[in-house]
Amino acid sequence: LHPLLPSDPSVIAGYRLLGRLGAGGMGVVYLGRTANGELAAVKVTHADRADQPDFRARFRREVEAARRVSSPWAVPVTGADPDAPEPWMATAFVAGPSLGEAVAAHGALPGRSVRLLGRAVARALAAVHAAGLVHRDVKPGNVLLAVDGPRLIDFGIARATGETALTATDMVVGTPGFLAPEQAEARTDAVGPAADVFALGCLLAYAATGRPPFGTGTPDALLYRTVHDAPDLTGVPEELLDLVRACLAKDPAARPTAAEIGMRLVEDAPGAAAEWLPAPVVRTIAERSARMLALPEIDATAPGTGTAEPPKRSRRGFLLLASGAAVLAAGGGALAVRSALGDDDKKGDGKAAPPRTTWKIGVLADLSGPAGEIGRAQERGARLAVERFNAREDKPFALELKVSDDRGDRNAALEAARRLTTDPGVVAVLGPTSDDTGQSALPAFEESGLPLLTTSAGFNLFTRRDEQSPRNATVLRAMPSHLMGGAYLAFAVTLLPAVRKPGVLQERTDDQYSWLLVRGIQFGFGQAKIAPHYRVVPAHARDYRRILGEMIDAGMDAYVHCGVRETAVLAARALAGLGFTGPRFVGQHAFGPAFLKEAGPAAENWFFGVPVLDPLAREKDTKLKAADRARTAGFVAAHRKRYGAPPAYYTGESYDVVNMVLDRLARNAKAGRPPARKGLWAQLRAEKYTGVMGGYSFDEYGDLSGVGTFVYGVRNGAYTSIGAAPAVPANLAKA
């Protein structure tokens, strides 16, 4: 539960609002309480959405659908008004976590828990289907776990069987990874109750194994696998395996009905106790219930306090937004907001605070987790830049560095981000280190308007947006996306004229990264008119000698590994053992000292396409202008003096982007404008900045302009810088 914002109402139709449960592009879900103490989840749509006739019709349909379903395993509607200026709907509040939250925090459920979960959700779906509806979005986030059993929620995209009027043709509706093949292919006329049964099969596999049966990654990858691949059911208990397989039949007619599933799962109902769930999940429910019981009565917001500007909304509906962008302080019985901008600072007594003299640059990084080596390098670069700024005699203001360690844990990343976004002195942040933590943390930055500059997170949706989402105005990416990195890596392969049939292996440990890399590689080789031999293997595959032997037998003359360091090491050892002499290529997520150490002699003759330069090689590069070499040499010397060692990879780029921010702020101060978040992203996006590692400019989306991918080869157990990847395939460049 997160605090209400000053722009939030205090009461809706008799429900006293106690806080925010979540928010997104469509609206806000509040925790409400009735006069007799009953709690409810109150969903309120944004006014601008309510002005759209199609959206209001959809909301009305959601209310009607939810009211038609009568089941103890579906959350009931307790009130609604789809015709209000801001349509709202209230449902009974369930204090427990969603299935997705529980599995992410505590792992897969035991067999009996999965059976009881399946029985209850199947019976809820049977009630949905008996009401003439199809839910269409049965997923872990839409199943809440309570002490007396699970509850199915969210009828936002449910529709009557055979109804198509409110669904555009060729539009995929639902959550990829938990969709039936007929939904994945947007065969609207074929979507019926059997689609919910397929999703239930995915749900049961996820609950039993802790992973979706068709993997993770980009939506198009998940949709393709759903239609064409067999599900990965490794780890599903034997007694459930046949049922789950039947649910996941590609042919809707071959699946059992929800009612049949409820009868086949003959476990007793959970009853009033919580023994159907493992102890860690029960503790989570108990803790949340205790927090709800401890909520105090809150006086209604005093009239006449004014209306604050509403918070910015997330660009992506699948990211849960939290309301930590503003710091709330109680004063005089009313809620007051402390702006993130310095000229709006107020003291608790309502008087203007003294002018701010210290401002902060934030660092959101993995300092103690799996990517700690990169995160620490980024923090050192940022710290060196801030210290350089503070050493200036003409500095217009003092600066501090505020560091927040997300530990590489996506579950901790949002809170780590809030430590920065809710501090009004922080004007820009370097980070995140990784894609996963970035996706979790991004909503806090989008709500607060705080610019986020990354040198290592290549997930494409940080900057790109779809037709239904506003343009990015939060992230500047000082590196290529993984998609573009894959294309440039393929272009680098084409520099070797002997390569005719490269083998490309996608391993699915980091499915999102590897899929984006493969898509970029497909584009790059397509431009070069090269037809690779592709192979996809699951994350748990370890028999790389057999896998790569088959690829060699298929005629591959070069190898491209789309995966993480651990599996790249397995591939290196296997190729060395097989006597493969062709060149071997891999991307960003395998790069670093650990690969050299773990692969040993098998690392020789591997090539890497990565988004960072070697500062030591750059200061000696005679092809650069003397002034550029001198700039880099000065940075290297300053780093040695400060830290007693040469800078690591990612340090120089982090130093540069922080200096770009500081130079912009200094120019603003010279023009009489104090540091502020507002408008800073747009100013930085328009920059053409030259730093110690080269030049930085950005396109309209906030992505780095130009190539930005550099090639390294392993020689004698060390990385050797070869140069920038080509902007086009070698054969086209010659033409």
Q: What does the pLDDT look like over 635-664, one tens digit per residue?
A: 999 999 999 999 999 999 999 999 999 999
DSSP code, position 326: S
Residues 6+ apart with CB under 8 A from 467: none
Catalytic residue positions, numbered: 137
Instruction: Give the residues of the chain that fall short of pLDDT 50.
Output: 162-171, 268-273, 298-355, 467-468
**Amino acid 348: pLDDT:** 41
**Amino acid 378: pLDDT:** 98
**Amino acid 506: pLDDT:** 93
DSSP code, position 88: E
Which helix or strand (DSSP H or E) is residue 421 part of? helix 410-421
Helices (H) and strands (E) in the chain, counts: 23, 26
Count other C-beta atoms under 10 Å from residue 67's C-beta: 14
- The SS3 call for residue 338 is strand
Q: Which domains does the chain have, with CATH numbers?
A: 11-92 (3.30.200.20), 99-286 (1.10.510.10), 360-480+615-704 (3.40.50.2300), 482-610+712-734 (3.40.50.2300)
What is the identity of the amino acid at 283? Answer: R
Residue with tokens 């986030």: 141
**Amino acid 276: pLDDT:** 87
**Amino acid 735: pLDDT:** 57
**Amino acid 148: pLDDT:** 86
User: Do 461 and 437 contact (CB within 8 A), yes or no?
Assistant: no
Q: How far apart are CA 435 and CA 441, in angstroms?
A: 10
Which helix or strand (DSSP H or E) is residue 660 part of? helix 651-670
DSSP code, position 333: T
What is the identity of the amino acid at 377? Answer: A
**Amino acid 263: pLDDT:** 87
Q: Estimate to the nearest angstrom the gap between the alpha carbon of 490 and the chain centroid.
A: 26
**Amino acid 374: pLDDT:** 97
Helix 99-106 and helix 279-293, axial crossing angle in degrees, nearest 10: 120
Contacts of 673-676 spanning 24+ positions with Cβ under 8 A:
674/342, 674/343, 674/356, 674/397, 675/342, 675/359, 675/397, 675/427, 676/341, 676/342, 676/343, 676/427
Q: How far apart are CA 164 and CA 474, in angstroms?
A: 37
Strands in 358-365's sheet, in edge-to-edge order, are 398-405, 358-365, 426-430, 452-454, 475-477
User: Do 589 and 370 contact (CB within 8 A), yes or no?
Assistant: no
Q: What's the pTM value of the predicted model, to 2 decimals?
A: 0.60
Buried b (16+ CB within 10 A) or exposed e, 132-154: ebbbbbbbbbbbbbbbbbbbbbb
**Amino acid 467: pLDDT:** 46
Q: What is the DSSP string of 151-212?
A: EE---TT-EETT--TTS-TT---S-TTS--HHHHTT-GGG-SHHHHHHHHHHHHHHHHHSS-
Contacts of 11-15 spanning 24+ positions with Cβ under 8 A:
11/300, 12/42, 12/44, 12/88, 13/79, 13/81, 13/84, 13/88, 13/90, 14/79, 15/40, 15/42, 15/79, 15/90
